[in-house]
Amino acid sequence: MTDTFLNVGFGNLVSPDRIIAIVVPDSAPIKRLVQEAKDGGNAIDVSCGRKTRSVLITDSGHVIMSAIQVDTLKSRLSGNNVPDDADQ
């Protein structure tokens, strides 16, 4: 269990231990997954009105939509603190 959180943009943090996958939102199956999560009340939109660039899927069934690119989140998970335009 880690004691750090993943910055998913705009001051929002997620526990890396709970993340199952980080995917791009462009494919039809992911769009369907996001819509089903919205309909079921399990969607969390932390993009602050910006374009969704990544979707985080958690072990609790929640779907988190972020304005941060998948590659940036991957770098942050590996320990590299990469700033992103969406954070400002």
Confidence of residue 80 (pLDDT cuts 50, 70, 90): confident
- pLDDT tens digits for range 42-77: 999 999 999 999 999 999 999 999 999 999 999 999
> Quick check: 9 and 65 in contact, CB under 8 A?
no
CB-based contacts of 8: which residues, under 8 Å, 6+ apart? Answer: 14, 46, 56, 64, 66, 68, 73
Structural domain total, the chain = 1
Assigned domain for 25 exists? yes
| Domain contains 86 | no
Instruction: Give the Cα separation of 36 and 80 in Å (integer).
Output: 33
Please give the residue range of the domain that contains residue 70. 6-79
Q: Strand 19-23 relative to strand 54-58: parallel, antiparallel, unpaired?
A: antiparallel
